[in-house]
Structure 1
């Protein structure tokens, strides 16, 4: 297991102690010539299960491109009028069109190659991606970026149904969760052959299960995917969403929250992270936190995030990472306080220390643990300093907020106001079945 709770100061003081050691007189010069590559990240640990991928039916969830969004929300405009409107907003119509066409070129290749392999294929956008669509398929492909992968994963509750992400915008999207990451559409045919030949390993990414306690009538669900890109003023968009929701209610595909003795287990499982805090980031979040079976602590902060190993490279990482400036400043202060020379102006040394710290924030996606991080904790005479990040098997948070949400993977949100309580845990049977190449 990774050692997670240590602070940079400890590492820095240990570094200073080495410099002060009699045998370390040549350390500074040695460090400048040492191998300064970053520490290798924890490898994904995969099951010994035999790798067989032979789906008969595949559903492809495609992202909604920015151009498609603009056309849907301004349906009364022709292309010239749309181009003019976008130009007035400072958006590049030609660039949006180019990326739209690149996405669909990649999407068409994915669809065609799957059909060439004798696999029945359906392509859906998020409006038609429901429980029935997932149950129809033997496997799920996402065509987009990491956001599309997270949306695809949110509907997959079985650990037996694989999900494979394809990054259709290698130049504009990181595609960390996607199989080919930054590779272009020319590589998909070979990638599919490797999958069908069994030249890969299954990887089970752990997910967070959330239980909510409180007044069932106050547990209100909000789909943040439907509130993206300033769509609140679009009557056309809201009309389309209303029609979709009506259809979901009629066909029974919309899951209802099941209340059991005042407790609701949310249907969504968090692949990246869960955030709890006030909806407006400018407001202070007030809550009570219990980690495992430890003491319950009252805290004020900018909210709390709880992540999986998959999410440890995302929001959690960016909350906690250090930069070169911070490390250099600390080394300078340590040198001044201890009256010892510190290489605060040696860029290679500073970068090495920075990378060493940041790499320790990341842990394996299949590790049955969560990592929590308190954002901007407030410490004073009332709220004493406490551990602001670490590992946990179980986390309990009771809200003392008044306009807060619990948000899962940036997509699904639930009202999380005063008195509501959330219990977060990782269960192996909730893991998401994904693939990596050997």
Structure 2
């Protein structure tokens, strides 16, 4: 009834992929300099938005609009106190420490660090990972990354160290310094724009922070091979300066508007045309993103919210298919197994695309057999949209309107080098 779990089907391909990594682990790795990337708290965000207001005026403004100012300050202090704990423990271990805001990562600072340590939640980790791009670290081994969850009671922090290490920072730091950990690679998506010029459109930071100056780093346009240029009717390509750790999402910015996209899988000759609510291309790390809490048999698990099924889906099927009633199907077990099968390893070299709410009526999709979800090695997407964006990890957005084309693929050298204590 069920397909074999994806984990068992990907072991061989992942092992081949792992052997292609040239710096796992880095030779003679030693931590002497740690770069701590701090969370931008909501208080700091409001402070940046209102630079001309005094503290008293800012408090009055926030309270007047209904903001819980006391909680805002409490959480700000909670995060800052935790940052100081982490910094103090690294300094006590003889490590030189720098603390910077997550939006101010620059090329030279990354080169300085032996390890990158985001402190906050998954958002801080993702923004740090986006900017820890090998595009800006050529000639140097990858800088490994390990994150501390500063508030595990209110943040899931799936990319960070476990809650036990938030409670015992000293133990975590000792293990990291001692080398008592496992190396782990997380695949990332490289996005390459295809067109007749080498320009990179101006990006928008969806968090409302200032876009890092790394955005302006030079990534030179390259001419396409004659065969590739003819196939996709483009002359040049240019790699976007950020790599997606979770996913790339493409769709209209107004959710009520239908996204019209053309998709080519694995450089085939078939152009798949779809109208939908957007296209999500995910890595193994991102297979637990876009997630929600689903309770089955008193077990809480995070699943891909685009593709997951619920108990209600199975109950509805039982009404349509009486044989399911006769089989006495365990609804919770079916849901659990199906949703678990959506998750695949973080170092899997494949990409999984998901067409969100694909229209399947009349001439759509074209061809009719175009699957709404599948694994691919690469994918080319052309926009027929009016006001769309290509969004990297829910953070950096690029305009992606009618005629825009992008190639999404996975390269071993782009993988994020991380440290796992478990």
**What interval of TM-score do these two structures reach, taking the shorter chain for normalisation?**
0.7 to 0.9
Asked if the contact 1:332–1:342 (Cα under 8 Å) also holds between the matched residues in 2, the reply is no
1:112–1:300 distance in 2 versus 1, CA, 3 Å: same
Equivalent position to 1:430, from 406, 414, 417: 414
Q: Which residue of 1 aligns with 2:342?
A: 361
- Structure 1's 340 and 254: CA in aligned 2 closer, same or farther, altered over 3 A? closer
Tell me how far 1:204 sits from its aligned partner: 0.5
SS in 1 for 2:168: helix
The 1-side partners of 2:247 and 2:335 are apart by 24
RMSD over equivalenced CA pairs, Å? 2.7
**Aligned match of 2:326:** 341
Gaps of 5+ in 2: 135-140, 224-235, 292-303
Helix, strand or coil at the partner of 1:274: strand
Q: What residue number does 2:381 align with?
A: 397
Correspondence for 2:399: 415
For residues 101 and 258 of structure 1, the distance between their equivalents in structure 2, rounded to whole angstroms, comes to 43
Residue 131 of structure 2 is matched in structure 1 by: 155
Q: Scaled by the length of structure 2, what TM-score is found?
A: 0.82
Match in the other structure for 1:310? 285
Shift of residue 152 of structure 1?
0.6
CA distance in 2, matches of 1:190, 1:64: 25
Q: Contact 2:191/2:243 (CA < 8 Å) preserved in 1?
A: yes
The residue that corresponds to 1:27 in the other structure is: none
Q: Which residue of 2 aligns with 1:164?
A: 146
Alignment of 1:141-290 (within 5 A): 141-158=117-134, 160-180=142-162, 182-183=163-164, 185-216=166-197, 219-225=200-206, 227=208, 241=210, 248=213, 254-261=216-223, 262-290=236-264
Comparing both structures, which one devotes a greater share of its residues to helix? Answer: 1
Normalising to structure 1: TM-score of the pair?
Answer: 0.79
Question: In structure 2, how many angstroms separate the alpha carbons of the residues matched to 1:224 and 1:111?
Answer: 28
- 79-88 vs 259-268, greater mean Cα deviation: 79-88
**Secondary structure of 1:94's partner?**
helix
Call closer, same or farther: CA 1:184–1:171 in 2, change over 3 Å: farther
Larger Rg: 1
The alpha-carbon deviation at position 63 of structure 1 amounts to: 1.2
Decide whether the 8 Å contact of 1:401 with 1:418 is kept in 2: yes
> Could you give the per-residue CA deviations for residues 24-69 of structure 1, whole angstroms, max 9, x where no partner exists?
xxxxxxxxxxxxxxx9978998979569752111111111100111
Match of 2:39 in 1: 63
Contact 2:195–2:237 (CA under 8 A) maintained in structure 1: yes
Contact 2:110 2:143 in 1 (8 A): no
The equivalent of 1:87 in structure 2 is 63
Report the secondary structure of 1:355's partner residue. helix
Q: Distance in 2 between matches of 1:101 and 1:422?
A: 42
- Do 1:224 and 1:410's aligned partners in 2 also have CA atoms closer than 8 Å? no
Q: Is the 8 A contact 1:407 1:414 kept in 2?
A: yes
1:356 and 1:257 map into 2 onto residues whose CA distance is 44
8 Å contact 1:201–1:437 — kept in the other structure? yes
Find the residue that maps to 1:413 and give its secondary structure. strand
Cα displacement (A) at 1:143 = 0.8
Residue 356 of structure 1: SS of its match in structure 2? Answer: helix
Give the superposition deviation at 1:411. Answer: 1.8
CA separation in 2, counterparts of 1:318 and 1:187?
33
Which residue pairs with 1:298 in the alignment?
273
Distance 1:382 1:374 in 2: 16
Tell me the residue number matched to 2:99.
123
Query: Counterparts of 2:143 and 2:25 in 1: how far apart (Å)?
Result: 15
